[in-house]
Structure 1
Amino acid sequence: MIITETERLILRTWTLEDVPYGVALWGNPEVIKHIGLATPMSREAVLESIKKGIDHQIKKGYQHWAVTLKSSGDIIGACGFNAFHQVREQESSIELVFHFLPDAWGNGYATEAAEACLNYAHEHIKIDRIIAGVEGGNIRSIKILDKLGFHYMGLIYFEDSKKFEPMYEFRLTPQRL
């Protein structure tokens, strides 16, 4: 299912047929070192992740969507949201994530896809706060978040990576669009 489109990209839900593309993405050591996973994901782990994402899309209305090039239909990455535990008691948050194949780096795709995700959140997800964690030293991701209007919050402990990572936040306001 197509979620949203940009000038060059289509963001859509993952399907079980996309597992090989997920393995190419999350099984790639260059990608993994920037997203906090200890080791590349196996085919079975990718399949399980895609299944959970499909379920999350049905239940919550979001997931980390497949990002495809309009020109070719090739999956070049993933961008979207993960549920995130409350950082402050009075607020719930979602986490913006973007993961792209190395061949797609440096073309503005992550910024374009992330902007589309923020617009989607503004229109469809009932939440006013989006956070984003950055694996230490990922200057490109920090620059993207800065362009999008995120602000540095400090270091937050991530249970999945078992370490503290820089955290950024973005507030959705009525003036967003």
Structure 2
Amino acid sequence: MTEIRTPRLLLRRWHDDDLAPMADIHADPRVMHWIDDGSVRDLDYTAEAIERWEEEWDEEGFGLFAVELLASGELAGFTGLTVPEFLPEVQPDVAICWRLGSPFWGQGYASEAAHATLEFALQDRGLDRIISITRPGDDASENLIRKLGMTPERETAHPVYGYPLSVHAIDLTEYQA
């Protein structure tokens, strides 16, 4: 089983008991504000999403990690690597993404998990370039993108919802953990 331990986190594959806490995260309007059309998601959506995330692990050899707090065992959300199929213009690039529940914001967990994920991409999966896609105005994500050393690459628009998107990239041969 693929997992990564950081000082405070366990990044791991998904378990059955992750469904309810991840569904709670998806039901929080503050979390979902910057995702797709901004609507909250239900338990069925979350179950289907986790199934897709696990399939990506099987098909691609990477995917979205469940992020668990080592101190408490709580599921904080996810971080990981994905093929951004919704945005064909950036393919074949692999994107890093994250989504944490609001009780876990502002504590450095997303940064800790994302840095570990970039190391995983470079050292374990041999990827040489990673992108991140965000909406302008999502200050927390834009701040994390800067912390990761990613630089702006292009502006585009969401193909379904039409709002602007910013694509940032990092060449992992230059990444300094």
What is the percent sequence identity of the aligned residues?
25
* CA pair 81-159 structure 1, distance change in 2 beyond 3 A: farther
Write the mapping of 1:26-175 to structure 2, written as runs, cut at 5 A: 26-84=26-84, 87=89, 92-159=92-159, 161-173=161-173
Residues 9, 67 of structure 2: 8 Å contact kept: yes
Write the mapping of 1:14-29 to structure 2, written as runs, cut at 5 A: 14-29=14-29
| Structure 2 CA distance for aligned equivalents of residues 17 and 54 of structure 1 | 14
Amino acid at match of 1:136: P
Tell which deviates more after alignment, 46-55 or 165-174.
Answer: 165-174
Q: Secondary structure at the match of 1:17?
A: helix
Say how many residue pairs are matched: 175
CA RMSD of aligned residues (A): 2.0
**Structure 1 residue aligned with 2:4:** 4
Q: Secondary structure at the match of 1:78?
A: strand
Residue ranges of structure 1 left out of the alignment (5+ in a row): none
* CA pair 160-105 structure 1, distance change in 2 beyond 3 A: farther
Structure 1 residue 17: Cα displacement = 2.6
| Structure 2 CA distance for aligned equivalents of residues 175 and 82 of structure 1 | 19
Structure 1 residue 62: Cα displacement = 1.5
Residue ranges of structure 2 left out of the alignment (5+ in a row): none
Structure 1 residue 33: Cα displacement = 0.4
Structure 1 residue 31: Cα displacement = 0.4
